[in-house]
Structure 1
């Protein structure tokens, strides 16, 4: 194992379990190991359904709102 990979594992090991699992799935996927689809919680499923309904109603962010959101996060 390379030093960089060891450093990555050490850093990730200090993150919350959910973030560790997400990063592990990404690593496995990048290594060519197929990953099962994620199962949404009932709350996530409801949020997604509401987002789909908003899109269907045409309730989309304006370009200015999107730029403001990116700027707020320094991107």
Structure 2
């Protein structure tokens, strides 16, 4: 295991069990284990539909909006 992956696991261990399970599902999908489907709530599905519709319209954030978002979160 790489040092970075080990750090990621350490960080995940500090999270609540439900968030650890979310991370585990993503990791399994990325590692090629497609056996588990990710269950989405109706609200999550609606948010995805809104995002797809916005993308189809070409409604994307400007570079300035993205930079402000990163700045807001200290990144």
Q: TM-score, normalised by structure 1?
A: 0.66
Q: Which residue of 2 aligns with 1:16?
A: 16
Q: Secondary structure at the match of 1:15?
A: coil
Residues 1-75 of structure 1: pairs in structure 2 closer than 5 A: 8=10, 12=13, 14-25=14-25, 26=27, 28=28, 32=31, 34-35=33-34, 36-75=36-75
Q: RMSD value over aligned CA atoms?
A: 2.8
Q: TM-score, normalised by structure 2?
A: 0.66
Unmatched tracts of structure 1, length 5 or more = none
Tell me the alpha carbon deviations over residues 9-36 of structure 1, each in whole angstroms, 9 at most, x when there is no partner: 8x71x5222211023332x567x56142
Aligned pair count reads 67
Unmatched tracts of structure 2, length 5 or more = 1-5
Greater relative contact order (CA < 8 Å, ≥ 6 in sequence) = 2
Max radius of gyration: which structure? Answer: 1
Tell me the alpha carbon deviations over residues 13-67 of structure 1, each in whole angstroms, 9 at most, x when there is no partner: x5222211023332x567x561423121111001100111111112110011001
State the alpha-carbon separation in 2 of the partners of residues 57 and 33 from structure 1. Answer: 33
